Structure 1
């Protein structure tokens, strides 16, 4: 079952309460999303680790309920 944009935002915000989070449904199909996450938690952390942190916040949904996520991260 596909995830909604709201579910994705909620999971990311739960892991990064200070974050500015924007999630867009790229294809209108509930399966292909783009997310931008800006958080102080990323300070001094490599981009690869930042992305891993966001994927961890999605609690194993990536590749299952969440088919595709184009991810952009930055420290605030």
Structure 2
């Protein structure tokens, strides 16, 4: 089992984080995580580059998981994302 604190620490140590959600989707066994990370460090980077960065950063933890998904957004994209979620 991978503690969410380990994932959070790895991300927050590497980049400035505006917002971070880590969701254990495996009912507590720690084998399936979804994350939403918002950072100005993603400005000017493609979605693929952002995902590769997070995947490389969390490589040791991801290797122990069954499934991993992510949303990596800039602060501006996050504002639009939240607006869209609340409008639905």
TM-score (norm 1): 0.84
User: What is the aligned partner in structure 2 of residue 37 from structure 1?
Assistant: 37
* Count of residues paired in the alignment: 74
Higher Cα Rg: structure 1 or 2?
2
Tell me if structure 2 keeps the 8 A contact 1:13–1:19. Answer: no
The unaligned stretches of length 5 or more in structure 2 are 76-88
SS in structure 1 of the partner of residue 61 of structure 2: coil
Residue ranges of structure 1 left out of the alignment (5+ in a row): none
Higher-RCO chain (CA-CA 8 Å, sequence separation at least 6): 1
Aligned alpha-carbon RMSD (Å): 1.5
Please state which structure has a larger fraction of its residues in strand.
1
